[in-house]
Amino acid sequence: MTSRGESTRARILDAAGSAFARLGYDGASLTADILEPAAVSTGSFYHQFPSKRALLTALLDEATDNLRQLLDGGHRSGPQPDADGLLARATAGWNLLLLAVDAAPDIALVVRREAHNRDPEIREAVARFNTLQREAFRARLEELTVPGVDLDAVSRVVGALAVGLVEEYLAIEPERRSAERDRLAEEAARFTLSGMPGMGARPAGRTGGD
């Protein structure tokens, strides 16, 4: 059974996610945009969080924990290397990314908005979320690459592709996203696999074109 305090905290976090996604941290009013929609008093808020900053970092850290659980579950239940081809495994990886967006679309927008926030605590919370995503990408890519591929370079390019894919996915009306998810995931997988062979590891001492 959920306690009254847990229910209050959940309502605050839910309203905060929506407000920060729409207005940004600096633009969202704690009272008008978060507490009033959540039907929570100022006193009850400060019983849960010491500040608006602490609210945002708690929102991001909870999202990071939820993402870790989703990624762990997806990795255990997803296609295995011995059972499926590269395309199936790559598509499953991209599908997992989009499922993570479906699970918390506001968080994707908050992370994008606050990546360069002037407050170091907020930037660090965003960085924790993004680091987990990058580590998950690299783990998936290690399953897909062949000898000689520059995995660091591939990870950077695929990370940039992921940002663009999430942007496109969020631009789709929410009620249509699930119908488009498989198509986008497979398109991203085909693009990833077709590009990786050209990203061979560079010989030592070379940093670019001749």
User: 181 and 102, same structural domain?
Assistant: yes
Please measure the distance between the N-terminal and C-terminal CA atoms of the chain and give it in whole angstroms.
Answer: 66
Distance CA 118, CA 101 (A): 25
User: 154 and 74, same structural domain?
Assistant: yes
Distance CA 154, CA 121 (A): 30
Q: In this structure, are residues 8 and 40 in contact, taking their beta carbons and an 8 Å threshold?
A: yes
Q: Pick from 29, 49, 69: which residue ends a domain?
A: 49
User: What is the CATH number for 30?
Assistant: 1.10.10.60
User: 135 and 101, same structural domain?
Assistant: yes
Q: Is residue 179 part of a domain?
A: yes
User: 21 and 67, same structural domain?
Assistant: no
Q: Is residue 207 part of a domain?
A: no
DSSP H helical ranges for 28-119: 36-38, 42-48, 52-77, 86-103, 105-114
Residue 66's domain comprises 52-198
The number of folded domains in the chain is 2
User: 191 and 151, same structural domain?
Assistant: yes
CB atoms within 10 A of CB 51: 12
Structure tokens at 83: 């059972």
Q: Is residue 203 part of a domain?
A: no
Q: Is residue 209 part of a domain?
A: no
Distance CA 116, CA 103 (A): 24
User: 144 and 162, same structural domain?
Assistant: yes
Q: In this structure, are residues 169 and 177 in contact, taking their beta carbons and an 8 Å threshold?
A: yes
User: 80 and 42, same structural domain?
Assistant: no
Report pTM: 0.80
Q: Is residue 77 part of a domain?
A: yes
Per-residue pLDDT of the chain (210 residues; tens, 9 = 90+): 568 889 999 999 999 999 999 999 999 999 999 999 999 999 999 999 999 999 999 999 999 999 888 877 765 444 444 445 888 888 988 998 999 899 899 999 999 999 999 999 999 999 999 998 888 878 888 877 667 778 888 888 888 899 899 999 999 999 999 999 999 999 999 988 887 777 765 444 444 444
